[in-house]
Structure 1
Amino acid sequence: MSFLLSCFAILGHFVVAIAHDDSCDASLLQLQEKLDRSQLNFSDNPYILHFRKAETAGQKKTSQAELPIVMMHGMGDYGSNPAGMVPMQNMLAGIANTYVHSVELCSNPDQLSHCSDDDQQNGFFMTMEKQVDQFARVVRADSELYRGFNALGFSQGNTVIRGYIHKYNDPPVNTFLSIHGVLMGVNGVPDCPLTSGLCRLLTSIISHVGIYSSFVQDHLAQANYFRDAANLKAYRASCHFLPFINNEIQGPGNQNSVHKSNFESLQKLVLVMAQNDSMVHPKESEHFGYFKDGSRTELVTMRDAPWYKDDWFGLKSLDEAKKIDFYSTPGDHLRFSKEFLHELVARYFASNKPP
């Protein structure tokens, strides 16, 4: 129930922010009045990972010959989800014979776990910068991770992991496996896992107030990686997160060499794209491609993009060192087989040893 109330509190703030604007479409307010709290139901969210059969392998403590794994879930999901993240955590522990930590992002910086309601809502309403900071607190407090870890992200969780690598990377990430990650941002609000009426309301409010307004940037995580390729001036001036980890803010003092060197320190970057992704627009963002600067229609591959050619944040350096592998899966966002995940974990995590 607290999650439902929090969602409506945020929506209320959005409505209040535009209510004094005479040009505001009254249908937005009418739609909010008609919404029933029961519509805020994530149980049938098609973008939350579900395992039909729970794995039974228990958690393990790491030995000197094993490197642990850290998982970061996507928006709308939560780290202690008994139908998805927990059985996956146990499955990975069995495959790689190592300790696996499924991260939860609590609202209280001092609380590091046992906050499923917070964790689920924070995927929407905690800024990406704060999510990265809380992720860092969690992994730094886990004594099993002090020598470093392999990272596995799903959807938006990969943006959190990427931010951690750029900003902190202590303890360091060895191999970063990104499954359907919004790595280069989105050029449209991701398909919302709420009911369609509420999504239309939220999208309409964002359109009215502006994706780069300070209010939206401070209250909606997805706005922090909305990269409008046809309006880069506004994006670089007002977007609170992605342009900074991309090192694309021009001018003295804006380039962060630590962001680049931390990313270059990865031993392996594994990028998985969904071939028919309806959630991430464009889907090529999952392979560090995107729309060509100045366009919302013309695509550019990673190796043809300026962020690669000019090596803004270390992507070209990793590629030239043959440290990037590419995969794709058939179907939609976060729809992949257990066998595919098993193969990747066995290939990239099971054989990795700590320094």
Structure 2
Amino acid sequence: MITLRGLKKVYHGESGAVTALADISLDIKQGEIYGIIGKSGAGKSTLIRCINLLERPTAGQVVVDGRDMTALSESQLRVARKSIGMIFQHFNLLSSRTVLENVAFPLEIAGVSRAEREKKVLPLLELVGLADKKDVYPAQLSGGQKQRVGIARALASEPKVLLCDEATSALDPQTTESILALLKDINKKLGLTIVLITHEMHVIKAICDRVAVIEGGRLVETGKVFDVFTRPQSATAREFIKAIVNNKLPEALAAVLSEKPVAGGNLVVRLSFFGAATNEPVIAGLIRRFAVDANIISGSIDHLQDIPYGTLLIELSGKPEDIQNALNYLQARDLGTEVIGYVARHAYAVG
């Protein structure tokens, strides 16, 4: 559906050239929800605006639904943009127009008759849960309702692609959750391809199928959300994931932890469980097989797209060779195993 090849964007200012995007290549499939995450200034807003050529790339190719957007004339581009809807962080509603009139505005610009506009808009208001607000003005709406109007307006021209530029950043957590659920519902009902940019990993986790991580105008990691979330390859992805997964070590443990082996000491390991592995009695099996004790320090279970995902922080004590055998056993299992460090025996273990 969307193909980006060698995308580059350079801005020229008084202080010289600034490269906002450098050699970006992506393939976004028909009907998927694709997330692009990055910190402020990473280039993600520039990237999403290059898809509909609100920003014209300095170099590279943008293909949407089989059309090379960079090769179109201005008149051809205006037509092509009708198949690409866009919603923004700050709603951009017309204060002097009702909800119905705001949603119908793109159709009015396109010359669609008043009766036909209303015929198309009313089902959209039903879809976004605002059928009873059609005659209300934006000032009378909550932030979440305003964004629903923005979504309905973006759908008025029956696009095949919906671009979301930080669509939930101005909303509270509960409202964000409802808007994300709405986007997921729209994706399912209409078969829309959705490209969503954000600086919040929980947004990616909630609805995206795949994700691209951008830093300094470059892609540092791409993949399925589950894979990136459970086995991040880049420092940037790991930093984002830390914001929603509490992997912080207890202060009492961190105070006595050593990166190097401690003579006669214990090993601290973080285990990550995915899917069916969350139901396996790994710790019980470990204790049965090896002459080690396992002290569970902390643990949690979450879900990623209905797939269970758990983490467990444990301390292994015993003879060095038994601890090593136990570690080898864990590393051979279908789970993530990360050696956190070492502690002197009895320095932290409580069992």
Instruction: Answer yes or no: same fold by TM over 0.5.
Output: no
Q: Which has the higher helix share?
A: 1
Q: Which has the higher strand share?
A: 2
Bucket of the pairwise TM-score, normalised by the shorter protein? under 0.3
Q: TM-score, normalised by structure 2?
A: 0.27
Larger Rg: 2
